[in-house]
Amino acid sequence: MSSTSTSLPSGADTELALSVERAYREVIVLDRLGAIWSVILAKCLLAQWAINEFSIPISGLRYIWLLTLSMAVVATGLYLRAHQSKINFLPNQRRVGTAIFVGILVSLGFILYAHFALKLFSAITAAALTCMMFGTWSFARAALRNAYPPLVGALIWWILAGYALISKDNTALLWIGLGMLFAQALPSFALARRTEQSLRV
């Protein structure tokens, strides 16, 4: 009797193909998750800026940050469970990617410490430096993934950093919030879409 024909490779090749497909799908899930979290952070930053700018009588810490982030954490857990995925805090590229990612996180920590604890520079300077750091990570991400959406995000981050340097202190949260939305979230959605399309080919 003749065996049933299939489009899948046989034997070890089938297992390898399925492993590659699972890896691609996990990357798509995490890209979308990163984009969604960027939107969430953008919403919190922009809402807090509006509260400060227009003297809105509401507690930003309680009703914006704590409420939003607590709901987002629960939703993230359910999302990952539904897709049977786990969070990779470090990039897949273990050496170069991890070194860049950790270096940027440490740099951001120093920026926040220098501003809040040591009072070495103003809030708008801290915002400009933060935008520059996020731009650097987006540029590195574009190189590691060989994709143009993060590169566009890097350019937007650096443009926002330039605007921040010539702005007033009360716009610090505004620039970072806009960066999270237009330079981080939208390129991440585009990157997830690009990876999904390549998986279908």
What are the pLDDT digits (tens) for 45-58? 999 999 999 999 99
Q: Taking 80 as the threshold, does the pLDDT of residue 200 lie above it?
A: no
Give pLDDT, residue 15. 65
Mean pLDDT for 94-105 is: 81
> Are 28 and 196 within 8 A, CB to CB?
yes
Whole-number pLDDT of residue 97: 75
- How does pLDDT run across 111-163, given as a tens digit for each residue? 999 999 999 999 999 999 999 999 999 999 999 989 999 999 999 999 999 99
Beta-carbon contacts of residue 125 (< 8 Å; ≥ 6 apart)? 115, 165
175-190 per-position pLDDT tens digit? 999 999 999 999 999 9
* DSSP-based three-state secondary structure for 90: coil
Name the residue with higher pLDDT: 93 or 47: 47
> What pLDDT is stored for residue 87 in this prediction?
56
Helix (H) or strand (E) holding 43: helix 12-54
Domain boundaries, the chain: 15-200
Q: Is the pLDDT of residue 93 over 90?
A: no
Greater confidence, 90 or 60? 60
pLDDT at residue 6, as a whole number: 45
d(CA 175, CA 157): 9
Rounded CA-CA distance 155/183 in Å is: 8
Predicted pLDDT at 80: 82
174 has a pLDDT exceeding 70: yes
Residue 81 token pair: 């469970």
Query: What is the per-residue pLDDT for 123?
Result: 96
Asked if residue 98 has pLDDT above 60, the reply is yes
Q: What is the pLDDT of residues 76-90, one digit of tens each?
A: 989 888 876 665 554
Return the amino acid letter for 189. Answer: F
| Mean pLDDT of all residues belonging to the chain | 86
